[in-house]
């Protein structure tokens, strides 16, 4: 039991170290705000936000979208967001074209100029996420990358790349990703609420 408690403590300390490093990284924090502002601008102009990722990152992508289209902290109108995660589409495309096309093919179908893609990959090299970003750029869709390594293909494609290195393994990176996802949602809600309040004042 003592060994297990020490393992729990060590894991929490490693997670805390990653969070402290992120808090101290002004450039990363600035990019979180930049990413949220890109999304706010798109939504104000009638665009939408899409998201994709693999494994735990796909769960994060789905969580991001449902908190916007559903509800996060505020009762407010639904926000145009969707994850590229339909299982029938993914199995069809993986079977007919290959798994690396499951997100790019979806984006080709629904992505419009002025939309934003949140591309999540802890390694920064996931082929299907990179291809989604390439498809996005070809269609005038802005790309926000959420990753764990700088200098990777997803960073090179991104309009805004948020890098959160946090330890030896992907799970520590993902723990920071979900925090930043929640913060971006909070910023988006606040930004859209301000826009609504300004319009109401103008029309009063």
The binding site consists of 54-56, 63, 67, 95-96, 121-123, 126, 174, 182
Cβ burial 111-144 (10 Å sphere, 16+ → b, else e): beebbbbbbbbbbbebbbbbbbbebbeeeebbbb
Taken in order 34, 38, 44, 48, the sign of the CA dihedral is negative
Which parts are annotated binding residues for Zn(2+)?
63, 67, 174, 182
What token pair was written down for 173?
Answer: 């990176």
Q: Are 198 and 64 in contact (CB under 8 A)?
A: no
Q: Are 45 and 116 in contact (CB under 8 A)?
A: no
Which parts are annotated binding residues for substrate?
54-56, 67, 95-96, 121-123, 126, 174
Three-class SS of residue 38?
helix
């Amino acid at each position: 039991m003592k060994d297990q408690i020490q393992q729990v403590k060590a894991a929490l300390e490693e997670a805390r170290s990653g969070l402290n490093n992120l808090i101290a990284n002004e450039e990363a924090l600035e990019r979180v705000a930049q990413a949220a502002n890109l999304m706010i601008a798109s939504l104000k102009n009638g665009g939408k936000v899409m998201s994709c990722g693999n494994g735990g990152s796909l769960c994060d992508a789905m969580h991001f979208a449902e908190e916007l289209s559903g509800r996060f902290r505020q009762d407010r109108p639904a926000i145009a967001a969707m994850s590229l995660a339909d299982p029938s589409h993914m199995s069809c495309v993986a079977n007919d074209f290959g798994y690396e096309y499951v997100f790019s093919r979806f984006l080709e179908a629904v992505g419009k100029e002025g939309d934003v893609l949140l591309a999540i990959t802890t390694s920064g090299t996931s082929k299907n996420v990179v291809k989604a970003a390439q498809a996005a750029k070809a269609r005038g869709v802005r790309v926000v990358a959420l990753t764990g390594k700088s200098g990777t293909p997803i960073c090179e494609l991104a309009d805004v790349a948020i890098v959160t290195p946090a330890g030896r393994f992907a799970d520590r990176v993902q723990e920071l990703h979900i925090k930043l996802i929640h913060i971006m949602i909070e910023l988006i809600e606040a930004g859209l609420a301000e826009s609504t309040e300004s319009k109401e004042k103008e029309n009063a």
